[in-house]
Structure 1
Amino acid sequence: MVIAKKSPVEGFHSWIGVLVEPSKPIESDGKLPNYHLEVDHVFGYNEKEVYYLNEKEIIYSTGSVGVIQSIETRSQKYLLGHTNDVTSLALNKEKTLAATGQVGAEVLVIVWDLKTLTAKTTIKVGKYQGIASLSFSPDSSKLVGVCTDVHKTLFIWDLKKDGKDPLTSQFSFPIEHVHFNQDKNHLVIYGEKNISFLNVSKDAQNPNSLPQVNKKTGLMGSLSKQPSIQSVLSINQDFTVFGTADGRLLLFNGVNIVKELHVPSPTTKPSPIKALVKYQNDSAFIVVSDNKVLLYQLGKDIAVDDVKATEIYQIESPTPIIPISFDINGDNLVLGTTSSDIYMVDLKDQKSQQFLSRAHDDEVVSCWALGTADNTFVTGSTDKSVQVWSVSQKKQLLELQYKSAVTCVTASNSKGSPSQLLAIGLQDGTLIFYDLTTNKEIQQVNVDTVALRLVRFSPCDKYLSVCLTNGNIQNYLVEPNNIGLRLQSTCKGSSAHIAFLDYSADSKTLQTNSGAYEILYWDVQSGDQIKSASQVKDYVWFTWTCLLGYYVKGIWSKGQDGSDINCLSRSSNTTPQLLATGDDSNNVNLFKFPASHDHSQKKVYSGYHASHVLSCTFSQDSKYLISCGGDKSIFIWKVIQD
């Protein structure tokens, strides 16, 4: 048995000392690979703002990236420059500028020129936790942002001065959003049980004085229940509509409420009104609630006349859609939801509904390339779903829902079977055996009562290895004609769960890494441990996903421990072969394979993922790399030779 015991950071690399060098090791120079990565597409949505940029494109954010996507072709362009999760997006009135804000130890706001896709102004805000909301003034001369720090600090940046010397103000009550009203000196802030109207002005008695922010509290009148405000829409200079978390519309004249409307709901718990947008004229606006698009028409005398509500569209969905943001372009409505989906509908055509983007709604913990010619791949998520994606079509092909969170997923290699098979491990210990060719579940096996850690098919697709939390590996024989699974052997002896596993090219042997940093080898048919590393030192491994081993020891930098790198994948059809890793610093890294040279050089791709990169896989033809992780985003990278 070859054991690399868990130790402090300075001792982590001691596992290298127990490795056995192959008889004729593949040469490694430790230099940068002669390939690089470029983002080809990203699946994901930060569940923040989504807008029409024009009639052909929409704009939204995912991870650390702003995304401009073609409605027709699904091709994308990117706003790159953030270092953490993008939490707010705003457009100016002419839609020539965008502003994005992020979270992090050092908060950034970037103003983008949407014609050139370049940063026009980068504002280093400082240590304010993050940006909750951004808004351009009507004339685009100013940008306002409110932070998530304890003081709810508000900044008003003069863009003519590149954001330098901003006007600031702080508040003692919760603020979730800020919005410029009808001119550059009037704003509204709102959040939990508060609405405030702000006016920016100088002292009339002292023309040389600095501008000050003056606040007037919105007066709720006789409302029996203080609302949590979710959205705002300026009707004109005097009237403003607010949407609440409990499905109400509040109409204000100045700082005073003049109307309270309850949005119709078939349930006892109305949907929150997270977005409002004008439609057809300046006194009509749209609300989306309980899958219904409702048109509200204000009377000529807004304060007095009745408000008419008409249902104009029914969104088809098996579950209630809760919109976070939507925008209108003519009769077309684009809608971002709490389930990380983006819809588009033509309000004049009930059959026009389509997805512009689909995504997981929680951490994407596992991805694996399918053995198909069109570079499809599969992902599993803690949102209890498995999804199959097409690289070429840039869309989701299939979604499977389960009763428990998905912890791991893999696919057969289609070499020993005409079918494409999936193996899916769940948090509750269930193993799902699924035939993608027929779209039918073959078998469920209750392997354990706690999470399955890893699943992997052998190269010949004859075996399926399932890694349990207790450290055991169950090797199943795939029955002829894929009629089910039968337990072949059990590997016992690991002191911790198996985190990584690879089959030998002949499907007879396993190499594994455990959570205790053990490097172990096993005979598949018997389940016996192979205790001599020299016996397997020259074996050819069909895949290489293990983080510890002779040919990958160079991926580790000085000071790193075993928790710093989360995943690894080796390409199969590049010259030389490549290694990709995903790490806890939100980076995707590209190395030459082998990376047996100490501290091998790498190309680092940061500013894309906004959380830990948990899984990565090269496509079957090695022309693409897929990465996914804690930010719910799935990045498809094109592998390009320099």
Structure 2
Amino acid sequence: MEPGAERVPVSPPERLRCLEDELALVKAALGDALRRLGHCERLLQLLPHAPNGTVPDPPDPPPQSISVGTQTEEPPESGGHRGGPQEPPPPGSPPCPPAPPQSSPEPPGMDSPPTAPSPAPPAPRKELLRRHSSSGSSSPRRPLSRKAASSANLLGGTPESRPKEPTLSPVSRRGNYNLEGVSVKMFLRGRPITMYVPSALGPGGLRADLPPERLQLEWVYGYRGRDSRSNLHVVSSGELVYPMACVVVLLHVPLRRQRHYLRHSDCVRCLAVHPDRLRVASGQAAGVDKDGKALPPVVHIWDSATLQTLQQIGLGSFERGVGSLAFSCADQGAHLCVVDESNEHMMSVWDCARGAKLAEVKSTNESVLSVEFNPRDSGSIITSGKSHVYFWTWSGAALTKKQGIFGKYKKPKFIHCFIFDGDGDVLTGDSEGNILTWTRGAAGKGGKEWFQLSQQTRAHEGSVFALSRRRDGAVLSGGRDRRLRLWSNRLGAVAEVELPERFGAVRTIAEGPGDELLVGTTRNALLRGTLSGGFTPIVQGHTDEVWGLATHPSALLFLTCGHDRQLCLWDGTEHTLEWSMDLGDTGLCADFHPGGQVVAVGLMTGRWLALDTTTHHPLAGGSDGNEQLSVVRFSPDGSFLAIGSHDNFIYIYSVTEGGRKFTRFGRCVGHSSFITHLDWSKDGRFIMSNSGDYEILYWDVAGGCKLLRNRFESRDREWATYTCVLGFHVFGVWPDGSDGTDINSLCRSHHERLVAVADDFCKVHLFPYPCARPKAPSHVYGGHGSHVTNVRFTHDDGHLVSLGGKDTSVFQWRVLGGPPHTGGDPDSR
């Protein structure tokens, strides 16, 4: 840990996982050291003895090329030899020694190209030593404060075990190719990665400019109802306003059109609409910028017609996040009340026009769930939350409170929501399933009103999550029991409807045109309907972390799966959920058969399934061990299915009958860590794969799943897809100071001009392809509020789909063409 860095508490399972990751790296480093010792011994045997009987130092290997990370010494080239493809080597045993350097005679089949002897002069033997730590870096690394930025599921490590801020170091990269221009080398966490330059490319033939294409956010799938309140409103245009990740979505339901407010730097937690129904206030959590610097929470007030920001409220005043906010009504929305998520839940009142703070006070150490101004008196404010309801009086710079007294009624654990009824009384909904009526008392000292608990009405089984007052004065309530109830003015039950179980409980209620109601649910769905006619979904989404993504080979359709065990098929043209099904287990990866009628899904438990996309019926399945699966990929002609597992193996199945019959074909053995990514060659015979310890290996599948020891011979092979994050064609996408887990996913476009990258800093990047230049420029796009876990181009390269991890978001971007960039792009890094 760097001096002065904040120590993050680590739970025992996470600490154990960190130790396992470090042990794996130590084993890999030990194996590399043993390979180097064997390399030196072989050199000593080949070199002639000096006349005086001493053994001269071996010649220096060619200069290295690229160093990503904090490498400060140039280690010698490590060989590409691995164990045989039939059985894995025993634990702890060193791999085969590498090939001798290019200055030595090259035995057949070794992993180095035949080249002329290196003209580099001999170097001292100490240059063969390798530095495994980052302590020699000239630039210190600061840990990135990221609440959910982790790629541990697929790339190992935890946020606590690794710093997440890319550190720019003048000695961390070297941009020289070797003297023969044959290979290039980069370093990740001190491990050398050698990549061979294709014969058609070279140092002078690679683009380093920004791609002319750009991305524009077209559609956001999902809604944040699981853990937020005050999150669904209707503005004057008739559009629904709701948050998803860092985006505030404006959805016009009849036109099936979305607009997006994109000025937030982290997840939006709450919304409030001004009395004019035009202006919107949105509050966000604390975030970080692209350099890892903390960004404080803030409230944006913006115009819903033009999407222009009108005012930023509270920059530097809030801690952790904005939990609740509300506009005043009696003075035409001149003031805004905000409650943050600090330990004291600071409550403040702001002048909306000037952005000036007028009053501030510590509200409570318990969580605050709701805040509202009295619609008849802007000097009266109410807050509710855990074990409390407070009636506040605001005057000048002073905020004073009176606690609601429950008297003979049982004090609930939570008061989730409240509204003002037509008589000015207050109705609260609590965790006991009751609606409590607080009646106004006579004006007391200071001329302010006070409230007294007068009535308790049993409303729901379980918590009352939402209360709303209709235009005709009737009251609506929604609760954990998934029931939506209509009450008269005196709280007599009038009507009710129960929502389907798959949508979850009622989170919030808004009023649409006529008698139409809009309901947000705890399972991230938005429903539209009436009490008499029932409800239908207009927005649906995942409810837990999302990792798996596959795009259809011939239509604008794509599949997603994640930790909520749901497999979802989305229609990118109509922007709807076609169907979803319960996998019974966490889904981590997926891929379409080239025919488009079958999809393969890899699960957390090591099982895989093949499903018919029309009937949703399983066609085949299996389990090759009990480790999670990282990647499943059909060959271009659909005759093979490759499955990459965390047990270090790639399992190959032959596929017949149009993807409906699967037969075990073989197993690729040779990786020393878990498989992370793989791609098929265009002829369907070979595989390129990456692993958790940053290996790049090649396999002859058609020849019996054999490991190709001479990786140089694969440099000109053409790949049907390019999703491997390590390789010559894409090494320029890695940022300086990367620890090897900063890129979660990568995808080359079908026309082979673009590379899209999903990183651990909530960003989607668009690079040119090939991207084999250090510090390659990219267009950078925000919107996700967590690590971006996957990206894929659609079949015609007209769209890109990206997944947010813990924010559960699915974004569909439109790929726009444009003139070549000439510089000065504000969104490029």
**How many pairs were matched up?**
610
Q: 2:730 aligns with which of 548, 552, 555?
A: 552
Q: CA deviation at 1:372?
A: 2.2
Q: Which residue of 1 aligns with 2:657?
A: 480
Bigger share in strand: 1
Q: Which residue of 2 aligns with 1:267?
A: none
Equivalent-residue separation in structure 2 for 1:91 and 1:403 (angstroms): 40
SS in 2 for 1:282: coil
Residue identity in the other structure for 1:411:
F
Q: 1:19 aligns with which of 195, 208, 216?
A: 195
Equivalent-residue separation in structure 1 for 2:304 and 2:630 (angstroms): 44
**Is it true that 1:90 corresponds to 2:272 in the alignment?**
yes
* Alpha-carbon distance change, 627 to 13 in structure 1, aligned in 2, over 3 angstroms: same
Q: 1:185 aligns with which of 355, 375, 379?
A: 379
Equivalent-residue separation in structure 1 for 2:737 and 2:622 (angstroms): 42
Q: Which residue of 1 aligns with 2:439?
A: 253
* Alpha-carbon distance change, 438 to 292 in structure 1, aligned in 2, over 3 angstroms: closer
Does the Cα contact within 8 Å between 1:408 and 1:455 map onto a contact in 2? yes
Equivalent-residue separation in structure 1 for 2:267 and 2:475 (angstroms): 34
Q: Which residue of 2 aligns with 1:304?
A: none
Q: Which residue of 1 aligns with 2:627?
A: 450
**Is it true that 1:262 corresponds to 2:461 in the alignment?**
no
Q: CA deviation at 1:447?
A: 2.6
Q: CA deviation at 1:15?
A: 6.1
* Alpha-carbon distance change, 287 to 127 in structure 1, aligned in 2, over 3 angstroms: closer
Q: 1:327 aligns with which of 505, 510, 535?
A: 510
Q: 1:298 aligns with which of 482, 489, 498?
A: 489
Q: CA deviation at 1:438?
A: 4.0
**Is it true that 1:276 corresponds to 2:467 in the alignment?**
yes
Q: CA deviation at 1:380?
A: 1.1
Q: Give the superposed CA RMSD.
A: 2.1
Residue identity in the other structure for 1:219:
I
Residue identity in the other structure for 1:546:
C
Q: Which residue of 1 aligns with 2:603?
A: 426
* Alpha-carbon distance change, 166 to 470 in structure 1, aligned in 2, over 3 angstroms: farther
Does the Cα contact within 8 Å between 1:241 and 1:249 map onto a contact in 2? yes
SS in 2 for 1:482: coil
SS in 1 for 2:731: helix
- Superposed, which structure 2 residues align to 1:18-417 within 5 Å? 18-25=194-201, 27-47=205-225, 48=228, 49-54=231-236, 56-104=238-286, 105=294, 106-123=296-313, 124-126=315-317, 128-138=319-329, 139-161=332-354, 163-174=355-366, 175-182=368-375, 183-202=377-396, 211-236=397-422, 238-254=424-440, 255-264=451-460, 270-282=461-473, 284-287=475-478, 290-299=481-490, 307-315=491-499, 317-319=500-502, 321-329=504-512, 330-350=514-534, 353-373=535-555, 375-414=556-595
Deviates more, 1:242-251 or 1:20-29: 20-29
Deviates more, 1:474-483 or 1:58-67: 474-483
Deviations 1:124-144 (A, max 9, x none): 144500011111100210111
Q: CA deviation at 1:582?
A: 0.8
SS in 2 for 1:324: strand
Q: CA deviation at 1:599?
A: 1.4
Equivalent-residue separation in structure 2 for 1:380 and 1:488 (angstroms): 27
Deviations 1:438-484 (A, max 9, x none): 43210231232232121111111111111111110100111334332
* Alpha-carbon distance change, 371 to 283 in structure 1, aligned in 2, over 3 angstroms: closer
Q: Which residue of 2 aligns with 1:623?
A: 798
Identity over aligned residues, as a percent? 26
Does the Cα contact within 8 Å between 1:454 and 1:467 map onto a contact in 2? yes
Residue identity in the other structure for 2:802:
S
Deviations 1:6-30 (A, max 9, x none): 9656552866762111111273221
Q: Which residue of 1 aligns with 2:756?
A: 580
Deviations 1:398-453 (A, max 9, x none): 21212111111111122xxxx52111111122111112144321023123223212
SS in 1 for 2:673: coil
* Alpha-carbon distance change, 481 to 12 in structure 1, aligned in 2, over 3 angstroms: closer
Equivalent-residue separation in structure 1 for 2:282 and 2:521 (angstroms): 19
Residue identity in the other structure for 1:334:
L
Gaps of 5+ in 1: 203-210, 265-269, 300-306
Equivalent-residue separation in structure 1 for 2:748 and 2:813 (angstroms): 14
**Is it true that 1:534 corresponds to 2:712 in the alignment?**
yes
Q: How high is the TM-score relative to the length of structure 2? A: 0.71
Q: CA deviation at 1:568?
A: 0.4
Deviations 1:294-331 (A, max 9, x none): 111133xxxxxxx311224343x144731111101231
Does the Cα contact within 8 Å between 2:566 and 2:581 map onto a contact in 1? yes
Q: CA deviation at 1:569?
A: 0.6
Equivalent-residue separation in structure 2 for 1:356 and 1:114 (angstroms): 21
Equivalent-residue separation in structure 1 for 2:419 and 2:708 (angstroms): 68
Larger RCO, structures 1/2 (Cα 8 Å, 6+ apart): 1
Residue identity in the other structure for 1:222:
K
Deviant stretches of 4+, over 4 Å: 3-11, 13-17
Q: 1:609 aligns with which of 773, 784, 795?
A: 784
Does the Cα contact within 8 Å between 2:417 and 2:465 map onto a contact in 1? yes
SS in 2 for 1:19: strand
Q: CA deviation at 1:282?
A: 2.6
Larger Rg: 2
Equivalent-residue separation in structure 2 for 1:187 and 1:489 (angstroms): 69
Equivalent-residue separation in structure 2 for 1:197 and 1:484 (angstroms): 67
Q: CA deviation at 1:154?
A: 1.0
Q: Which residue of 2 aligns with 1:515?
A: 692
Residue identity in the other structure for 1:322:
A
Does the Cα contact within 8 Å between 1:16 and 1:553 map onto a contact in 2? no
Does the Cα contact within 8 Å between 1:221 and 1:256 map onto a contact in 2? no
Equivalent-residue separation in structure 2 for 1:68 and 1:3 (angstroms): 56
